[in-house]
Amino acid sequence: MTQERLQLLFPPEQIAQRIRELGELISTDYSGRQVAVVGVLKCCFVFLADLIRGLDLDVTIDFVQIESYGALREPTGPCTLVKELGIDITGRDVLVIEDIVDTGATLAHLLSELRARSPESIRVCALLNKQARRRVAVAVDYVGFEVDDVFVVGCGLDFSERYRALPGIYALLPDEPA
């Protein structure tokens, strides 16, 4: 049996600092507007909670959940919306909060679902961006950190539902067999 090893990529202080910077940037960009924040469950919850508390804006918050990954590290097939948006976003400025954009398939699917509801605008803020793995072209307007092609956990991100509560962000490396 192989065990995973964790390698620290971003410590909690660095994440907190970057989230503060994103909050300031977003507050400036949306100054004076009301923003419909849409979090993508489950992984977004830690990042979203930290980010929204640094926004100097009038925001509403709702969540969607999309199934695209099983217990494995690769997409299991087409994306399905398993939790619908509970608010009307017609004519609203929407800010989608993602944990990580990897192949881009999940985000592309979500954006087409949201665009069909005629919002005024949609932007995306992701804590992490894995540009090297992109298969579907999607615009990510605000990025916390770029990461290489490694599987990452912590700060809401999981591997088989584990590691979400880690305050830092770690690369998950397979252990060398003995």
Q: Which stretch binds ligand IMP (CB under 6 A): 16-24, 56-64, 92-100, 112-120?
A: 92-100
Active-site amino acid positions: 102
Compute the C-alpha angle 120/66/31, nearest 5°: 30
Name the segment binding ligand IMP (CB under 6 A); options: 19-27, 56-64, 83-91, 98-106. Answer: 98-106
Residues 33-62, one symbol each (x = binds ligand IMP by CB under 6 A, - = not), give ----------x-------------------
For residues 85 and 100, give the distance between their C-alpha atoms in angstroms, rounded to a whole number: 20
Residue 106 engages ligand IMP in binding (rule: CB under 6 A): yes
Asked if 152 interacts with ligand IMP (CB under 6 A), we say: yes
104 binds ligand IMP (CB under 6 A): yes
Q: What is the 3-state secondary structure (H, E, C) of the chain?
A: CCCEEEEEEECHHHHHHHHHHHHHHHHHHCCCCEEEEEEEECCCHHHHHHHHCCCCCEEEEEEEEEEEECCCCCEEEEEEEEECCCCCCCCCEEEEEEEEECCCHHHHHHHHHHHCCCCCEEEEEEEEECHHHCCCCCCCCEEEEECCCCCEEECCECECCECCCCCCEEEEEECCCC
| Binder among 26, 105, 122, 169 for ligand IMP (CB under 6 A) | 105
For residues 57 and 152, which CB has a smaller minimum distance to ligand IMP in the complex? 152
Nearest CB to ligand IMP, comparing residues 19 and 155: 155
Stretch that binds ligand IMP, among 3-11, 86-94, 97-105, 116-124 (CB under 6 A): 97-105
DSSP structural state of residue 133 = G
Least distance in Å: CB of 122 to ligand IMP?
A: 16
Q: How far is the CB of 75 from ligand IMP (least distance, A)?
A: 6
Residue 118: its H or E element: none
Chain positions contacting ligand IMP, by CB under 6 A = 43, 68-69, 75, 98-107, 151-153, 157
